[in-house]
Structure 1
């Protein structure tokens, strides 16, 4: 059904991206604005409206029959609201109603950004052909989403699969979420870098203290950098194994900035997974890097809209 188009929004703390996407997942029109993350809620919404106005000005807009939104969370799809941690002006913000008002009352489907990336990876990326998958984003935070029985499983509020806040260390460091020893508190990029610095790693002459710089040092053999990635890998392995044991997934896909570290992350991750995923039904669990790149949020938001917007199914999403 190539005449089918949906609008997609990918809303994060840095940028608000929008697109018109066809039933094959091809992005036909794009628009983007920086997120005024520290401004009041209506100012943030104005940036969303500007993106939508740019899309509605396209001659293709008339073919769009639904809007998909992947937003930084937490989101509440049942209420149509969002409360992104890194956008303080939005707390229980009625995003779905506001987007509907801007788009002439098109149906709107809201999911969390981790779920959106999962939809994209299942439709066109590393989880394609897998009926039961966990997809993770490991970057500034750690998020994720699930595909179960061949379908995206966002859960009632759109947050299912949020693996970053599984506790893998009972008496671990307090996490900003309020719990202790969360996967995110150990495996996110800033925490990988923090641990390396606390243990004596020093950046090069450029002063770069990002997780990418720690990964480069680990590749060069720096033992403190290697150890920080090993610790992140162990936390990810424990979380992935717990998820696999709970719902029987057969593949875990890892994207985000930390996911780009390559063997520095994936080699210890696969080793630790063998220690944690020990039952017969999880022993064959594959772990693989994500494939969708920076457009994953938009493509996933479009997939959710295609799957629900008008009874159209996007390649079994």
Structure 2
């Protein structure tokens, strides 16, 4: 580090500040230090840094499942964000059940990690008191909101409203909602159904429960089954809003098996913008919910908590920006 400081004409402390992302560095100075780091091929000794800080350099990521493309791609983005900060990310699959989620909070792995990114599915608002307050934790998802912890999530209602409004703007008024959980009050399905209903109401279009396709699990098979259930009721939608892309892919498969042409007979929009939507036949329009933003922000907040455990800072609730990515499944000629 002293060699880098001499090459850049600054102090070793300034080099340390640049390496550790200290924000109040003049841009000219930062660029000079970064150039010296490259020229001297400086590599941070992460183990030494962590020993000095009393940290392991390892964080946990607890997710319901990795077979769903959204969670797999989120895990990949979080690992990239962690690597950029010199961290190792250990992934725990909770299976989306209560025991698995509680084990992720209390199990022995918590003693070997500096903090946890936690996305519950089985636990709900009534379980907020079970979240431990002694270790850094950042919440993901929509099941538990707590004033005690930082939380990074999507704009579920707003994005679902935008997706439905987009279909309405294309002249579609019988829009099937695939992935509905009728009894759910908290969670992605409830929030996305609320956004769907808000868009219909704003357009003066009746909300028809006959257009709801129920799917407790959001997989391809359940998407196909939910689509089949709607069609078997004798309902003929003119567009489909699938509450995630995996459901949408299953719904498109069922429509094509029954001889429907997409997008001529029916438009389809999904939610999550996973990679597979770019290669499906036809390619599927989807809501990009800001996955990269979620990953980078969550890691940043957790790192901040790890580094400042003794300092007071009000927890933040941050919602990622979203956008609609148009593809062939909604291409109206």
TM-score using structure 1 length? 0.39
Q: In proportion to residue count, which structure has more helix?
A: 2
Q: In proportion to residue count, which structure has more strand?
A: 1
- Using CA pairs under 8 Å that are at least 6 residues apart, name the structure with larger relative contact order, 1 or 2: 1
TM-score using structure 2 length? 0.38
Structure showing greater Rg:
2
